[in-house]
Structure 1
Amino acid sequence: MRALKAVLGLLVILAASAGGLYVTDRLLASPNATGPSGDEPAGPLAVETIPVETVTFSDAVRAVGTARARKAIDLVAEASGRVTRIAFHPGDEVAKGDILLELDDRAEQADLKAAEATLAEAQAAFARQEQLNKTGNASDAAYQTAKGALLRAEAERDRATVSLEDRRIRAPFAGVVGLTDLVEGQMVDAATVVTTLDDLSVIEVDFSVPENLLSRLRPGQRVELTSAAWPGRIFEGRISRIDTRVDDATRSIALRAEVPNRDRALVGGMFLQVHLVLDERQQFAIPEQVLSVDGERNLVLLARDGVAQQVEITIGQQLDGMVEVVSGLSEDARIIATNLHRVAPGMEIRATPRDRLTEAAPRTGEGG
């Protein structure tokens, strides 16, 4: 009896196994079954394409420079004396000829009046002698003596005028005056610095570059300058002077650039970073996101007649996320910019043109 039950149980197990195998085989053979490739889209892969752009690239060299005012002097008095008026405030902008300082000039005023009186007498005496000389009533010697006295009187008057003018310090050119330690009533002499005067309308920047760049230097080349005092700001200028000699100690050549300074942001003595543009060129460029690297090869994917095509290009500089294309692309090329991780050369694609890169899928295992 037990043997019979064992046989029946074995038959039930075999029947269940056979039924399971049949059902599994039917499911695998079903055309509606979802396999490992069920996630792949049907038809061409949708991508976006962008055109080749034209960007200005440049060859440049970096240096450090020192700023200086185009005109900068220390103002000193022409004569000794007591200060009677200080006519400026530090930081004032003054015009050429403006009076900045006056010294006590009472003695010089008196000397000028005396010289003018002497001149008036000499003019009257000369006029009388001149009239007599015309009528023949005076000797030529008396006429020449009167004329000499007149010339000496004029010279004395001119000397007194200069001495009086020396009691005033005027701005020799338009600019900005600096600090002063003088006070009214203080005695000064020709060695006393009254203040400084700087023409800050244009700043000159002196710097040096290696001598091997001499053949590529010329007046008018553009320079870009930055300063720690003005983070994020770029000052633009042009080369105005190139030295005629190479420094035999440093093997460098000195240059001078002029930078417009209308807002007076730059002052003399500032330390500046200099970016000298040696030449500029218009070149094809692509976003660095669409570039892939395979060993020493630089590759991009193009859309041509509904098919993805991989081409090798030669690249140059990088600028603000754009990569210079030296060769390998034509002006009418359409570059695949999205779904790059899913596109393979030769794959059918459905391209949507865009003017610029709007979205680029991240790529793994690639560099740009």
Structure 2
Amino acid sequence: MMRALRVLIGLLLLAGAGFGGFVYTSDMLAATQDSGGGRPERGPLQVRTEAAQTMRFAETVEAVGTARARESVMLHPPAAGRVTEVAIDPGARVSEGDVLLRLDDAEARARLTATEATLTQTRAAHDRLQALSRSGSVTEANLEAARADMMRAEAEHALAETALRDRTLTAPFAGVVGFTDVARGELVDTATEVTTLDDLSVIDVAFSVPERYLSRLARGQLVELTSAAWPDRRFIGEISAIDTRVDETTRAIAMRARVPNDDRALTAGMFLRAALVLDERQATAVPERALSVAGDDSYIHIAEAGTARRVSVTTGRMAAGMIEVSGPVQPGDAVIVTNLANVSDGADVEVLAAEQARLEAPSQ
């Protein structure tokens, strides 16, 4: 009996202690809340933005091509003979008519002198007989014979002049000369290869594209070209010719593009990549990393007066880290590009300045 009484008293004491602790804890929490010591509210979400901008987007078809000089020729001597002068500086630019090679011309000059003497003599004889014919002292047959002699002398003189000119090789057009293996004193003929001459002021690029693009091709259409030799440059040309037939084997159509080459950066034989511009337009673009996708919905967030606004967009082409968008987005809008996992429509945001964003960015 006494043992049961002691157990009952112990339980009553434990219950009283528990109730007292509950009351004490409740009072402390109430006091804390009354004193303003509750959990602080979270501030606006810090983000970084980039401005939407207007960009050029182009629809292109790509091909590979080979550069060709606008005019290119292998030069040969116009006649046979011994070389007396070589005026070829490989890689140098020459003008039309510049002398590149001279042959021994002593015999040609002597022949020209002889024909000049004969021509002078026959002209004098013809003029004398023509004067006498007016008085009837010379028959018409004699006058015709003198005229024939004079014309024959004129023809021989013209041939002698041509033969003398053929002792000199000149540039048929302005361009750049290549290497030569011809030396002074060498005997050459009309089959001897002297040097190459290329007009590189304009480059023609030969390439082909699939026939399905034929209806969208036209002379004057823009072509962008790149070369491994100039990785940081883009060369702009236009279609100058389109073939009249489609290749039956490849089902491609050949064409030529003409590219200005004033600084001679391109040369004949170079491998080039061509991007034929089928269509181009100006459109609003935003950074690719600003785009979010949820199901069929593509959207971005724009920071406006400290608030994030979700904007659904339709996307298009991509270029240089930017993507074409259409929707309620204007060039200059502050598009949020960081902290996207935490941004929501209507959220309070604080746009970091560029330098502050760089300092607070996590190290990689």
**TM-score, L = length of structure 2:** 0.86
Q: Equivalent residue of 1:191, what SS?
A: coil
Q: CA deviation at 1:64?
A: 0.3
2:289: which partner in 1?
Answer: 289
Following the alignment from structure 1 to structure 2, what is the Cα–Cα distance between the partners of residues 323 and 21? 61
C-alpha distance 334-19 of structure 1, shift in aligned 2 (>3 A): farther
Following the alignment from structure 2 to structure 1, what is the Cα–Cα distance between the partners of residues 165 and 28? 115
Shifted more, 7-16 versus 52-61: the winner is 7-16
Shifted more, 238-247 versus 111-120: the winner is 238-247
Aligned residues of 1:207 and 1:256 also touching (Cα < 8 A):
yes
C-alpha distance 125-329 of structure 1, shift in aligned 2 (>3 A): same
In the alignment, structure 1 residue 329 sits paired with structure 2 residue 328:
yes
Following the alignment from structure 1 to structure 2, what is the Cα–Cα distance between the partners of residues 318 and 142? 90
C-alpha distance 51-235 of structure 1, shift in aligned 2 (>3 A): closer
Q: What number of residue pairs does the alignment pair up?
A: 351
Q: Equivalent residue of 1:231, what SS?
A: strand
C-alpha distance 34-316 of structure 1, shift in aligned 2 (>3 A): same
Structure 1 residue identity aligned to 2:42: E
RMSD of equivalent CA atoms: 3.2
Aligned residues of 1:67 and 1:269 also touching (Cα < 8 A):
yes
C-alpha distance 215-351 of structure 1, shift in aligned 2 (>3 A): farther
1:91: which partner in 2?
Answer: 91
2:56: which partner in 1?
Answer: 56
Structure 1 residue identity aligned to 2:270: M
Q: CA deviation at 1:18?
A: 5.7
Q: Equivalent residue of 1:277, what SS?
A: strand
Following the alignment from structure 1 to structure 2, what is the Cα–Cα distance between the partners of residues 267 and 46? 54
Structure 1 residue identity aligned to 2:327: G
Following the alignment from structure 1 to structure 2, what is the Cα–Cα distance between the partners of residues 13 and 276? 90
Following the alignment from structure 2 to structure 1, what is the Cα–Cα distance between the partners of residues 201 and 28? 88
1:366: which partner in 2?
Answer: none
Q: Equivalent residue of 1:253, what SS?
A: strand
Structure 2 residue identity aligned to 1:24: T
In the alignment, structure 1 residue 208 sits paired with structure 2 residue 198:
no
2:266: which partner in 1?
Answer: 266
Following the alignment from structure 2 to structure 1, what is the Cα–Cα distance between the partners of residues 162 and 113? 13
Following the alignment from structure 1 to structure 2, what is the Cα–Cα distance between the partners of residues 215 and 359? 50
Deviations 1:154-194 (A, max 9, x none): 00000011111111101000001000001100011111001
Following the alignment from structure 1 to structure 2, what is the Cα–Cα distance between the partners of residues 126 and 71? 48
Aligned residues of 2:46 and 2:352 also touching (Cα < 8 A):
no
Give the gaps of 5 or more residues in structure 1: 363-368
2:110: which partner in 1?
Answer: 110
Following the alignment from structure 1 to structure 2, what is the Cα–Cα distance between the partners of residues 91 and 307? 65
**Percentage of matched positions with identical amino acids:** 48
Aligned residues of 1:80 and 1:190 also touching (Cα < 8 A):
yes
C-alpha distance 353-149 of structure 1, shift in aligned 2 (>3 A): farther
Aligned residues of 2:82 and 2:103 also touching (Cα < 8 A):
yes
Following the alignment from structure 2 to structure 1, what is the Cα–Cα distance between the partners of residues 102 and 246? 47
Aligned residues of 2:72 and 2:197 also touching (Cα < 8 A):
yes
2:26: which partner in 1?
Answer: 25
**TM-score, L = length of structure 1:** 0.85
Q: CA deviation at 1:302?
A: 4.1
Following the alignment from structure 1 to structure 2, what is the Cα–Cα distance between the partners of residues 26 and 205? 89
C-alpha distance 49-94 of structure 1, shift in aligned 2 (>3 A): closer
Q: CA deviation at 1:26?
A: 3.5
2:69: which partner in 1?
Answer: 69
Q: CA deviation at 1:341?
A: 3.5
Following the alignment from structure 2 to structure 1, what is the Cα–Cα distance between the partners of residues 331 and 70? 50
Q: CA deviation at 1:137?
A: 1.0
C-alpha distance 229-333 of structure 1, shift in aligned 2 (>3 A): closer
In the alignment, structure 1 residue 340 sits paired with structure 2 residue 331:
no
Following the alignment from structure 1 to structure 2, what is the Cα–Cα distance between the partners of residues 248 and 263? 38
Aligned residues of 2:284 and 2:331 also touching (Cα < 8 A):
no
1:144: which partner in 2?
Answer: 144
Structure 2 residue identity aligned to 1:272: L
Following the alignment from structure 2 to structure 1, what is the Cα–Cα distance between the partners of residues 188 and 331? 77
Following the alignment from structure 1 to structure 2, what is the Cα–Cα distance between the partners of residues 23 and 334? 56
Q: Equivalent residue of 1:232, what SS?
A: strand
Deviations 1:84-112 (A, max 9, x none): 10012111111101110001111111111
Deviations 1:250-281 (A, max 9, x none): 11111111111111111111111111111111
Q: CA deviation at 1:233?
A: 1.9
Following the alignment from structure 2 to structure 1, what is the Cα–Cα distance between the partners of residues 143 and 281? 80
Q: CA deviation at 1:53?
A: 2.4
Q: Equivalent residue of 2:134, what SS?
A: helix
Q: CA deviation at 1:68?
A: 0.4
Following the alignment from structure 1 to structure 2, what is the Cα–Cα distance between the partners of residues 55 and 253? 31
Structure 1 residue identity aligned to 2:100: L
Q: CA deviation at 1:214?
A: 0.8
Aligned residues of 2:53 and 2:332 also touching (Cα < 8 A):
no
Structure 2 residue identity aligned to 1:205: V
Q: Equivalent residue of 1:146, what SS?
A: helix
Q: CA deviation at 1:351?
A: 7.4
